[in-house]
Structure 1
Amino acid sequence: AKRNGVKVEEFGLGFPPRAWGKKRKDGMILSLNWLPIGGFVKLKGEHDADTAKGSFGAATLRAKTKILVAGVTMNFLVGVLMLTLLAAVGMPKLLTVDNVGQEQFSVASDTKVTHRFVQAGYVQPGSPAEKIGLSGRDLITKIIAADEVREIGSAAQLQATTKEFAGRTVTVVYRHNTKEVSKSVKLLDTAEVEASKDTDDPKGHLGVSPNELIIQRSSWSAPIVALGFTKQLIELTLKGIGNAFIGLGSLVAGGVTGNDTAKDKGHEKATSQVGGPVAIVAVLWGGGTLGLNFILFIIAILSLTLALINILPIPALDGGRLFVMYLSRLIKGRPFSPQVEERIHGTGMAVLLTLFVLITIVDVGRFL
């Protein structure tokens, strides 16, 4: 922006709310913000039709294009670089056939599993797991019965161990928010578990439906793994965004026509594909239990997702601003007036805020 004569009013790392800010002598504010997903630049006079010296509008069309694409490019490059480093030191395996219909990209000959974690996952109400305070994000590491110690390295191993010690009092060792906790509880016996199988409330010996979390590492193929995963992420994100907007359309149509079925289905489709700020905080909080690799992995995914969403031709976003700029030249041969531009981007912002509010409401119910 500065190279093209546009005044920068604020350069921020992360996204608001602001955690810290300092105004320099040239008037530019440097800021650190709470959401660690890339950064932003606030420019003087961001209307396409502005003519004041140093404003965004006064720059050439080519300069404006470069400015709008630069932020997206940086977010993309930072995300890919972080994924490359993670692939080399240890990348979490997020995608599986069970959750997205495909395995996470890897180069089989150069990828090794370095760590496995067993997360409690779903904790059944009234189960032994609930009695000792296990939560879904806790990591189960050991089960001890008298002098018999079983290290837990997989979901299958947890199932086999609880079955082996069925009906006995055991000590469950688990990590909760980075702290190791040990608590004793009596597991359900096999007769009770078997009797519950054909009921509406099947039970387990411990009472959890565990998730298996895997860290895998590559060497020479790390950049290839990063790009392969990025491609998968882009495809899944575009699919999710498409479903979200289709759902939002159904929600609006259902509200206008009074069709409650369409309205409910639209609400579910619009909010089930994406997560909002509450989801981001919840995932980062849960990632803290799993270590720095998981937190960096989540941040890399957020950076790439932000880059992709931001370049889409959605009014109010950089891609939308770029689209409107070129559309105005195609239709009128010059920029739209500030009033027309504000109406276009204002409508886009209203749609995004509606989706944002719906997602936040769902996130609160899901995570809090």
Structure 2
Amino acid sequence: MQIFIAILGFILFIGLILVHEWGHYLAARRSGVEVEEFGLGLPPRAYDKKTKSGMLLSLNWLPLGGFVKLKGEHDSDREKGSFGAASFGAKTKIMLAGVVMNLLAGLILLTLLAFIGIPKLINQETVGQAQFTVKSDERLVSSQAMVYYVVADSPAQSAGLKERDILETISTDSESRTIKNAQDLKAATTHFAGQTVTITLKRSGQEQKVQAKLLSPSEAMQGSGTDKPYLGIAPTSLEVVRYTWSAPIVAVGFTNQLMVLTAKGLWHAVEGLGSTIAGLVTGNETARQKGQTQASSQVGGPVAIMVAIWNSGSLGLNFLLMFVSIISLSLAFINILPIPALDGGRLFIISATRALRIRLSAGAEELINGIGITLILLLAVLITVVDVRRFF
């Protein structure tokens, strides 16, 4: 089942890229701008086919998004049907269309999830705040206790518990306790303190049983200070809740919350990258490692996305759809940033040159976008290397 859900997740992720580029395509066609190529991935090209309209459909080797190539993309181009000859309003619509499509896709997915059951992924354990909700309309669908992290040299580590394990029951020969949330787990481990227990769990969708010798109260007092001392894990409650009339409100509220968290995470990543560069220049190994850890914890490339799709697949379809909606909203946020070669960067350049009443030459525009693409590719390579080291 996990394999099926993971494959579905990969297809949906590709769909997000196509939805983004389809937005650019539709806006361009409606504005009278000719589309020369619709590409998935970045060159070098692996496959291409020409449509009856003359547009080239291409599949490319680098799995770093997609693109729509427009006729006369330079702002200085004045040939009929070219992007450069379009009005400022038309250019703005074309540049923002992909962002709007990803935003709409994310909102639609979240609204659907709110109706059928949306996971509560934002909580005190993960980001220090509660997920947006409308309490008067909220109904609990299911609740599970998941291992958030395992304390080193603890009974949990000795028993082989791993992050993302779903705990179902804790039992002895004479008694069993069902675990539905973090509070149930704390109560059960306190009740069975000092005893050898059997823990029934789910890992990657498969049920398993492990044995653990819980610490006694006296042993726990000498422990590491964790507030879950008897077993030695920090659990988080995986709750799925449902809404009716407030589903669209929940979708909008969560989107706003996610955008703020994404901005904060991006800022932490930039700070970490700065510390890494400073550490490399000055030879400060501690600063370099700290910066690299801070940056890599906030960003992820294709490898991290595939790992996340696989992991969310093990938790069920609701969690996968939640992850896909988050990716869609994140794509909207990232693409609107004023970074050369991205939609926001190109719109910023067009707006700035219009406001300053100057016109960039085709060469200058290509240079700016080329620098942006180069930096993005270098960052993608760096993130991929870090992701491989982190996950493998």
What TM-score do the two structures reach when normalised by structure 1? 0.83
Q: Does 1:330 align with 2:352?
A: no
Give the CA deviation at 1:324. 0.8
Q: Give the Cα separation in 2 of the matches to 1:34 and 1:88.
A: 38
Q: Give the Cα separation in 1 of the matches to 2:324 and 2:339.
A: 23
Name the amino acid aligned to 2:308: V
Name the amino acid aligned to 2:83: F
Q: Which residue of 2 aligns with 1:340?
A: 364
Q: Give the Cα separation in 2 of the matches to 1:23 and 1:145.
A: 67
Q: Which residue of 2 aligns with 1:296?
A: 321
Q: Give the Cα separation in 2 of the matches to 1:172 and 1:303.
A: 37
Query: Is 310-319 or 53-62 further displaced after alignment?
Result: 53-62
In structure 2, which of residues 181, 184, 204 is the aligned counterpart of residue 157 of structure 1? 184
Aligned CA distance change for structure 1 residues 342 and 249 (closer, same or farther; 3 Å): farther
Q: Give the Cα separation in 1 of the matches to 2:275 and 2:142.
A: 43
Q: Does 1:360 align with 2:384?
A: yes
Q: Give the Cα separation in 2 of the matches to 1:85 and 1:339.
A: 46
In structure 1, which of residues 74, 78, 81 is the aligned counterpart of residue 108 of structure 2? 81
Q: Does 1:218 align with 2:237?
A: no
Name the amino acid aligned to 1:241: L
Q: Give the Cα separation in 2 of the matches to 1:33 and 1:222.
A: 38
**Conserved? CA contact 1:36–1:299, under 8 Å:** no
Secondary structure of 1:301's match?
A: helix
Please give the residue correspondences for 1:7-18 in structure 2 after superposition, counting only pairs within 5 Å: 7-11=34-38
Aligned CA distance change for structure 1 residues 169 and 252 (closer, same or farther; 3 Å): closer
Q: Give the Cα separation in 2 of the matches to 1:350 and 1:19.
A: 21
Please give the residue correspondences for 1:1-368 in structure 2 after superposition, counting only pairs within 5 Å: 1-11=28-38, 23-28=50-55, 41-51=68-78, 54-125=81-152, 127-130=154-157, 133-146=160-173, 148-181=175-208, 183-190=209-216, 193-194=219-220, 196-197=222-223, 204-253=229-278, 255-256=280-281, 263-264=288-289, 266-334=291-359, 336-368=360-392
Q: Give the Cα separation in 2 of the matches to 1:142 and 1:359.
A: 39
**Conserved? CA contact 1:140–1:172, under 8 Å:** yes
Q: Give the Cα separation in 1 of the matches to 2:230 and 2:48.
A: 53
**Conserved? CA contact 1:246–1:270, under 8 Å:** yes
Q: In the TM superposition, what whole-angstrom CA distance separates every residue of 1:116-147 from its partner, at most 9, and x where no partner exists?
A: 11112223456554455432112111223225
Name the amino acid aligned to 1:329: R
Q: CA RMSD in A?
A: 3.5
Query: Is 323-332 or 300-309 further displaced after alignment?
Result: 323-332
Name the amino acid aligned to 1:280: I
Aligned CA distance change for structure 1 residues 184 and 344 (closer, same or farther; 3 Å): closer
Give the CA deviation at 1:287. 0.8
Give the CA deviation at 1:31. 7.1
Aligned CA distance change for structure 1 residues 33 and 297 (closer, same or farther; 3 Å): farther
**Conserved? CA contact 2:269–2:298, under 8 Å:** yes
Q: In the TM superposition, what whole-angstrom CA distance separates every residue of 1:72-103 from its partner, at most 9, and x where no partner exists?
A: 11111111111111112211112224443432
**Conserved? CA contact 1:276–1:356, under 8 Å:** yes
**Conserved? CA contact 1:120–1:210, under 8 Å:** yes
**Conserved? CA contact 1:250–1:265, under 8 Å:** yes
Q: In the TM superposition, what whole-angstrom CA distance separates every residue of 1:303-352 from its partner, at most 9, and x where no partner exists?
A: 11111111121111001001111222333543x12221122122333443
**Conserved? CA contact 2:186–2:228, under 8 Å:** no
Name the amino acid aligned to 2:133: S
Q: Give the Cα separation in 1 of the matches to 2:133 and 2:61.
A: 32
Q: Give the Cα separation in 2 of the matches to 1:227 and 1:285.
A: 27
Secondary structure of 1:100's match?
A: coil
Q: Give the Cα separation in 2 of the matches to 1:190 and 1:146.
A: 18
Instruction: Provide the aligned length of Structure 1 versus Structure 2.
Output: 364
Secondary structure of 1:46's match?
A: coil
Q: Give the Cα separation in 1 of the matches to 2:144 and 2:323.
A: 17
Q: Give the Cα separation in 2 of the matches to 1:103 and 1:350.
A: 39
Give the CA deviation at 1:52. 5.1
Q: Give the Cα separation in 2 of the matches to 1:338 and 1:53.
A: 17
Q: Give the Cα separation in 2 of the matches to 1:59 and 1:348.
A: 24
**Conserved? CA contact 1:144–1:170, under 8 Å:** yes
Q: Give the Cα separation in 2 of the matches to 1:203 and 1:104.
A: 23
Name the amino acid aligned to 2:369: H
**Conserved? CA contact 2:192–2:214, under 8 Å:** no
Give the CA deviation at 1:45. 4.2
Q: Give the Cα separation in 1 of the matches to 2:150 and 2:281.
A: 40
Task: Mark the runs of 5 or more structure 2 residues left unpaired by the alignment.
Answer: 1-27
Give the CA deviation at 1:263. 4.7
Q: Give the Cα separation in 2 of the matches to 1:256 and 1:49.
A: 40
**Conserved? CA contact 1:38–1:75, under 8 Å:** no
